[in-house]
Amino acid sequence: MNNVPEVAIASREFKADPYPFYARLRAAAPVYRTLLPDKRPVWLITRYDDVLVVLKDEQRFTKDWTVAMTPAQQKKMPWLPPMFRPLLRTILDTDGPEHHRLRGLIHKAFTPALIEQMRARIERLSGDLLDAAAPRGRMDIIRDYALPIPLTIISEMLGVPPRDRANFSRWTKAMINASAGRSSLLAFPQVWMMIRYINRLIRERHASPQDDLISALVQAEESGERLNADELLAMIFVLIVAGHETTVNLIGSGSLALIENPTQMRLLHLQPELIKNAIEELVRYVSPVEQATERYASEDVTMHGVTIPRGEMVFAVIASANRDEKHFTDGDRLDLTRENSKHLSFGLGAHYCVGAPLARLEGQIAIQMLVQRYQALHLQTQPAALRWRPGVTVRGLEALPVAF
């Protein structure tokens, strides 16, 4: 198609540097059909203006595949055990009134004002992690810093005991890695363990409510706000996964971007007041969510002379839109002073990321404290040796070994 080579979009090799490929798509094939590892077709939408359309048009690009697909198409969907089916109707998979109702049950916990009250806790946690690394003179930013911060914070919000938190990272990683393979069966044991654990927490909060978000959601169910048992499970599942996974990649990939751009890291060190603007630029530049979660064409949709058939999956490629030359001058360059960056890293429209205020605050504090504490931060390996995680949707590093 337009001389654009086929690539394995979920592979480690592609994740290492997807941007040249996306630039070619924007120029030559802005509506591009490829295959997922399980051989399902997916359409990549790569230009900024077109990504806006996909994110905002719930009528033609629905989250609900049962509405979009014909019966014949639905029969070709991957098999899912009955106990996993509640996970097909999460807040990420619904539109319209159903999505609005689910979103209404959690948005009050993620308002900017409430999140700002967590600043001191995030600062203390970040400082403790940096203190622990100081005697060694080195650390793995992912394992020792980028992961513990958001995982601890979302776990504390939900009421997950400290002894159980590492399990969530392991379960989530297995699920994302499985999305890079041809079969999701490999992730079933991990998903099942996570479901069992969440259901146990729900039972405990029914019996003995605490001052945490899971208790609040359980009580919402009991007070008649129509959050049924399956919805409760799905909501907590998404909050755990989305509540830490993308922020790990923001902090980790953002740190790598600064190491690779020492002039920008020095600028942030000398002008700490730039941090809010810096995080907006970093989240644009690294795009922790590479593609928005899937949509489905509810009818035949023609864009740029190419028709996306009804029922087929569509990815709005945020990482490409965030570097579209028509909207971002010199978009492949990191510029912490870039103004009015209308990036799409947190989505847009009804599905705008409800956790954006928390991700921003965690990113601001973690990056700021790292840069201020360790001015001589540098990689302990060659950039080409860094391993990127396979999978679709998110983009992040397996590890980021540094010294200081």
**Which value, in Å, is the radius of gyration of the alpha carbons in the chain?**
21
Instruction: Please tell me the distance from the alpha carbon of residue 299 to that of residue 398, in angstroms, as a whole number.
Output: 39
Instruction: Please tell me the distance from the alpha carbon of residue 8 to that of residue 15, in angstroms, as a whole number.
Output: 9
SS3 state at 179: coil
User: Six-digit token pair at 3?
Assistant: 């001389």
Instruction: Please tell me the distance from the alpha carbon of residue 368 to that of residue 272, in angstroms, as a whole number.
Output: 7
Domain with residues 12-403, CATH architecture = Orthogonal Bundle (1.10)
SS3 state at 266: helix
Residue with tokens 């994110």, as numbered in its chain: 55
Q: What is the 3-state secondary structure (H, E, C) of 290-329?
A: CECCCEEECCCEEECCEEECCCCEEEEEHHHHCCCCCCCC
Instruction: Please tell me the distance from the alpha carbon of residue 335 to that of residue 337, in angstroms, as a whole number.
Output: 5
Q: How far apart are the first and last CA of the chain?
A: 47
Helical spans, DSSP H, in 223-261? 229-260
User: Six-digit token pair at 148?
Assistant: 């513990």
Residue 57, CA distances (Å) to 301, 318, 347 in order:
12, 16, 13
Q: Domain boundaries in the chain?
A: 12-403
Instruction: Please tell me the distance from the alpha carbon of residue 353 to that of residue 76, in angstroms, as a whole number.
Output: 30
Cβ atoms within 10 A of the Cβ of 44, count?
A: 20
Per DSSP, 263 falls in state H
Instruction: Please tell me the distance from the alpha carbon of residue 401 to that of residue 252, in angstroms, as a whole number.
Output: 10
> pLDDT tens track of the chain, all 404 residues?
567 778 999 999 999 999 999 999 999 999 999 999 888 899 999 999 999 999 999 999 999 998 899 999 898 887 778 888 888 888 888 899 889 888 888 888 888 888 999 999 999 999 999 999 999 999 999 999 999 999 999 999 999 999 998 888 888 877 777 666 655 666 788 888 999 999 999 999 999 999 999 998 888 755 556 678 888 999 998 998 888 889 999 999 999 999 999 999 999 999 999 999 999 999 999 999 999 999 999 999 999 999 999 999 999 999 999 999 999 999 999 999 998 889 999 999 889 999 999 999 999 999 999 999 998 999 999 999 999 999 899 999 999 999 99
Tally the C-alpha atoms within 13 A of residue 312's C-alpha that lie toward its C-beta.
21
State the sign of the Cα–Cα–Cα–Cα dihedral 301, 307, 313, 316: negative
Residues 6+ apart with CB under 8 A from 401: 138, 139, 140, 141, 379, 380, 381
Residue 172 · residue 238 · CB < 8 Å: no
Instruction: Please tell me the distance from the alpha carbon of residue 260 to that of residue 254, in angstroms, as a whole number.
Output: 10
